[in-house]
């Protein structure tokens, strides 16, 4: 009997120790993870009674909590009339559907539970004040954000603008968009109906096209191919390359044609400057075949391809194909085949060229401050990669200026300002319209802003779709908004 009791006691002690160890593990190591789960309603009930900190652009709150006269005590609200313009950034804070965007990734700062705010919580307890979240200030430029949103009216697409010297994201817009106020309401039946409607919408208004969708970049990728060519030491802007109306490709009877069905500017051997100015497919296909897939991939990766950027919103990685054959390399060199990029990535390409070849790490959160305005954290600019040398960046800049002044990018010109840019029109399938692109920066001699615009669908005839006509005017408006301040 004594032996059985001893075994039972030992087993009970072991179980108690295991329970204590598991409880300690959960409290010490997994508390934040469990508290942050979108499906943890007990925690959510508690958090809805917290004065959640605002999301700011300058001194303007684009999201804030206001006292409410119901059981939740606070109502999360988004700036009326422009809430949809900022929705891809702010995301939403919903009782039923959790959080998205900055509301998700900065949740612990906004609700005041982050370890960095521990001292503030102690002070709140001592002074008998209710817990109050920290404010999160963003890098966005309000004028640029609204110019991008207005420019995309009636279209599916996205715009990203970056400050080249720092990596600050000045604009990040995706349309169609949605009003996060509809998901933050306290009438849960209405919230449920709004969620269902948004998710059943074929236009995907909740899709963040700027950073979470990848598209063929078309001729804007020729900047990467040109960068690889100039960096190889075998090419200069005046090097002549094969540029017939149709480039014969190895291993296939299907050639690579120029869009207009003619050779490049009246020559079967155009210079690279002319080839970029007129966006000649055959010239860049020739260069791609000469350089090879590895050189193109390496250059793309130096601009950020293959890496996830902007952790504040969880951007997806852009990609260059893993093992293309020769014809696929030629297609890849003009941004087709399996080359896929986010608008954020193509803005990074332009920003890297603008910044002397130094690609800065993009960021969206400028700083986090307590309710009494004490700085908790502040983001500092950080170099990501040296994509090209300053000399190559200068050559690319002058070639891009030529594109805007004399070539396909004329609609992106700004009076009194030298703009550098590159158009793109990416083919998809016969039943879908091409994607129209434009990426640029200005002023060319002292860049303040780099922009990428992608138009997925503009509701215009197929023959009217071109990066210069559809995307460049939007980029122009965004650049003007930044430069006018």
Q: Give backbone dihedrals phi and psi of 62, rounded to 5 degrees, phi first.
A: -95, -10
Catalytic residue check, 113: no
Dist CA 438 CA 68 (whole Å): 45
Cα of 448 vs its chain's centroid, Å:
18
Set 174, 219, 286, 440: catalytic member = 219
Alpha-carbon distance of 205 to 169, in angstroms, equals 21
Q: Which residues are catalytic?
A: 219
């Amino acid at each position: 009997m004594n032996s059985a009791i001893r075994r039972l006691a030992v087993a009970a002690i072991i179980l108690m120790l295991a329970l204590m160890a598991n409880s300690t593990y959960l409290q010490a190591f997994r508390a934040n993870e469990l508290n942050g789960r979108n499906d943890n309603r007990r925690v959510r009930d508690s958090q809805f009674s917290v004065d959640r900190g605002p999301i700011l652009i300058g001194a303007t709150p684009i999201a804030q909590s206001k006292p409410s006269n119901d059981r939740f005590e606070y109502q999360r609200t988004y700036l009326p009339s422009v809430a949809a313009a900022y929705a891809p950034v702010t995301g939403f804070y919903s009782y039923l559907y959790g959080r998205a965007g900055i509301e998700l990734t900065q949740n612990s700062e906004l609700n005041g539970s982050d370890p960095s705010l521990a001292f503030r919580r102690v002070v709140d307890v001592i002074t008998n004040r209710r817990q109050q979240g920290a404010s999160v200030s963003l890098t966005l430029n309000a004028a640029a954000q609204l110019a991008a949103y207005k420019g995309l009216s009636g279209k599916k697409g996205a715009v990203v603008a970056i400050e080249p010297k720092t990596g600050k994201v000045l604009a990040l817009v995706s349309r169609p968009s949605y009003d996060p106020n509809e998901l933050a309401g306290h009438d849960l039946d209405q919230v449920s109906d709004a969620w269902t409607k948004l998710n059943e919408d074929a236009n995907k208004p909740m899709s963040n096209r700027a950073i979470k969708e990848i598209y063929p970049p078309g001729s804007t990728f020729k900047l990467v191919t040109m960068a690889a060519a100039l960096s190889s030491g075998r090419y200069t802007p005046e090097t002549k390359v094969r540029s017939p109306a149709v480039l014969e490709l190895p291993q296939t009877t299907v050639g690579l044609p120029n869009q207009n069905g003619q050779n490049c500017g009246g020559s079967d051997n155009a210079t690279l400057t002319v080839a970029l100015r007129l966006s000649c497919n055959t010239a860049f296909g020739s260069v791609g075949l000469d350089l090879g897939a590895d050189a193109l991939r390496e250059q793309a990766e130096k601009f950020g391809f293959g890496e996830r950027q902007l952790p504040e919103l969880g951007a997806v990685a852009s990609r260059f194909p893993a093992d293309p054959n020769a014809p696929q390399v030629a297609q890849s060199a003009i941004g087709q085949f399996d080359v896929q990029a986010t608008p954020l990535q193509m803005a990074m390409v332009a920003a890297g060229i603008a910044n002397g070849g130094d690609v800065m790490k993009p960021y969206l959160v400028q700083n986090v401050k307590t309710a009494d305005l004490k700085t908790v954290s502040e983001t500092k600019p950080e170099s990501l990669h040296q994509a090209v040398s300053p000399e190559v960046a200068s050559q690319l800049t002058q070639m891009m200026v030529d594109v805007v002044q004399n070539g396909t990018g004329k609609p992106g010109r700004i009076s009194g300002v030298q703009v550098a840019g590159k158009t793109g029109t990416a083919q998809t399938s016969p039943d879908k319209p091409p994607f129209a692109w434009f990426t640029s920066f200005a002023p060319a001699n002292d860049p303040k802003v780099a922009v990428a615009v992608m138009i997925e669908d503009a509701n215009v005839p197929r023959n009217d779709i071109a990066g210069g006509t559809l995307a460049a005017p939007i980029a122009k408006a965004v650049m003007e908004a930044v430069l006018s301040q």
